[in-house]
Amino acid sequence: MITVSFYGNGLAANNTAAVLRGREGVEVRGPYGRDERDAALRSGADVVVIATTSFLAQVADDVQTAVEAGSNVITTAEEAAQPWANDPAIADRLDALARERGVTILGAGLNPGFAFDALVLTVCGAAPEVESLLVERVVDLSGFGETVLRRIGVGHTREGFEEGKRAGTVTGHIGFPQSMRVVAERFGVEIERIDAEIEPVFAERELCGRSITVAAGETAGFRQHYVALVNGAPWFEALFTGHLVPAEIGLEPRDAIHVRGPAELHFFAQPGLNPQSGTAAVLANSVRRVVEARSGWVTVGELPPAVPR
Ligand SMILES: NC(=O)c1ccc[n+]([C@@H]2O[C@H](COP(=O)([O-])OP(=O)(O)OC[C@H]3O[C@@H](n4cnc5c(N)ncnc54)[C@H](OP(=O)(O)O)[C@@H]3O)[C@@H](O)[C@H]2O)c1
């Protein structure tokens, strides 16, 4: 029997807990909210799933508490997918603690954790050589919760979006540098610089998502363009369009991975990977591989594929 405890009582935790409850040999505890932190983190469950925020610094204490209680940890915090990309001091400290306690820490979800990293690496396995990568993703944002939507950039006026960008409260999707580094590590190449752009996409009429209604003239989505340079040239380009109703801007959800090289390779998923069910699946399917992994802080780049078992 594997015990799995959830900290954070939101969408990702509840969707993942529902998947795991349907599996034999897994006991689910929670999801627990903020007022049940000890129950969530200190029970010594085999795996603690922390699905609270996106930011490494904000989950660091929670990860530490769970590791000290002897649990393996999976966190959805995007910055935790490759924590050395954000804060090497936190990453080194918790990596050392996990090694000492003989447990594993993993940052994962659908993105980062699959769409821009694990899947890209798998697709590259069918390419004789890789000169550069272009990964595109169009995401239907209508199923996200309000907190996440506002933070990534939906439901703002033009001024509010720009002000939020400056203040760091509007971030767009977080996780490109982490995914890019996970891929680069497997290739043994060093990223010199990552250029990043984000631009708002405005609603032309009132639009509704599960948790939010956006007025005409407010942001219904955004476009992001990230380019990682290796040896002075673009090596990994990421294009991400998120929208409450992608059809409003003539798009439909899709994922595309273009591998450039002597034999070009183009991989498409249409409709694209579902952010909610995809995240729940990657998390649920990571429980056993985290239990079996080496100790320390690992990335999806070094683990076997996540499979439902
Ligand atoms: N890597 C990936 O692919 C991936 C996939 C899905 C989600 N995520 C990220 O994972 C996080 C959770 O996603 P979600 O969709 O489940 O969000 P959500 O529906 O907004 O739920 C978040 C939950 O965590 C709680 N919470 C927030 N900040 C907290 C903190 N500092 N300490 C303790 N609890 C806290 C919230 O409590 P209150 O309601 O009390 O605030 C809520 O219960 C988000 O940051 C999201 O961007 C990543």
Binding site membership of 111 for ligand 1 (Cβ less than 6 Å): yes
**Which residues are within 8 A (CB) of 159 and not within 5 positions of it... i.e. 6 or more apart?**
none
The predicted pLDDT at position 201 comes to 98
Give the pLDDT score at 273.
Answer: 98
Q: Are residues 63 and 105 in the same domain?
A: yes
CATH number at residue 8: 3.40.50.720
Which tokens hold the place of 39?
């129950």
pLDDT digits (tens, 9 = 90+) for 225-251: 999 999 999 999 999 999 999 999 999
Mutation probe of ligand 1 site: the residue of 111, 147, 285 with most atoms within 8 A of C-beta? 147
| Centre of ligand 1 from the C-alpha of residue 11, in Å | 7
Domain extent, residue 290, equals 2-109+278-302
293 and 210 part of one domain: no
Q: Does 84 share its domain with 130?
A: no
135 φ, ψ (degrees, to nearest 5): -120, 125
Contact 121, 130 (CB under 8 A): no
Cα 56 to the chain's mean position, in Å? 12
Ligand 1: atom nearest CA of 31 is: 43
In Å, what is the CA distance from 134 to each residue of 94, 124, 156, 232, 268? 33, 12, 29, 17, 12
Q: pLDDT tens across 16-31, in order?
A: 999 999 999 999 999 9
Number of independent structural domains in the chain: 2
Let me know whether 122 and 268 are in one domain: yes
CA–CA gap between residue 45 and residue 30 (Å, rounded)? 11
pLDDT digits (tens, 9 = 90+) for 166-223: 999 999 999 999 999 999 999 999 999 999 999 999 999 999 999 999 999 999 999 9
* Residue 79 banded pLDDT, cuts 50, 70, 90: very high
User: Does residue 282 share a domain with residue 258?
Assistant: no
Cβ(11) to ligand 1 under 6 A? yes
- What's the distance, Cα to Cα, between the start and end of the chain in Å? 13
Flag whether 308 is in a domain.
Answer: no
Same domain for 38 and 164? no
User: In this predicted structure, what is the pLDDT of residue 275?
Assistant: 96
- pLDDT at site 278: 98
In a domain, 12, yes or no: yes
Ligand 1 neighbour 33 (Cβ under 6 A): yes
Q: Is 75 exposed, middle or buried (0-12, 13-18, 19+ CB in 10 A)?
A: buried
Per-residue pLDDT tens digits for 88-103: 999 999 999 999 999 9
Residue 309's pLDDT band (cuts 50, 70, 90) = confident
Average pLDDT over the chain, rounded to an integer: 97
Residue 57 covered by a domain:
yes
Mean pLDDT to the nearest integer, 295-299: 98
In this structure, the answer to whether residues 39 and 145 fall within a common structural domain is: no
Give whole-number Cα distances, 110 to 39, 237, 254, in Å.
26, 18, 14
Helices (H), the chain: 11-21, 37-41, 56-68, 88-101, 118-124, 146-152, 158-167, 176-187, 275-284, 287-292
Q: Which residues contact 131 (CB under 8 A, 6 or more apart)?
A: 260, 261, 262
Upper half-sphere CA count for residue 245 (Cβ side, 13 Å): 14
- With a 6 A CB cut-off, is 145 part of the ligand 1 pocket? yes
Pairing of strands 132-140, 26-32: unpaired
For residues 306 and 293, the answer to whether their CB atoms sit within 8 Å is no
> Is residue 307, in this structure, part of any structural domain at all?
no
Asked, for residue 309, whether it belongs to a domain, the answer is no
CA distance 154 to 138: 15
Give Cα separations from 270 to 142, 222, 236, 267, 274 (angstroms).
17, 20, 22, 10, 10
pLDDT digits (tens, 9 = 90+) for 43-58: 999 999 999 999 999 9
155 shares its domain with 232: yes
Residues 85, 130, single domain; the answer is no
Could you tell me if 82 and 107 are in contact, meaning their C-beta atoms sit under 8 angstroms apart? yes
Same-domain pairing of 105 and 206? no
Please tell me if the CB atom of residue 31 comes closer than 6 angstroms to any atom of ligand 1: no
pLDDT band of residue 159 (cuts 50, 70, 90) is: very high
Q: Is 0.95 topped by the overall pTM?
A: yes
Q: Are residues 130 and 228 in the same domain?
A: yes
Find the CATH number of the domain harbouring 174.
Answer: 3.30.360
In this structure, are 284 and 215 located in the same domain? Answer: no
Q: Is residue 89 one of the residues assigned to a domain?
A: yes
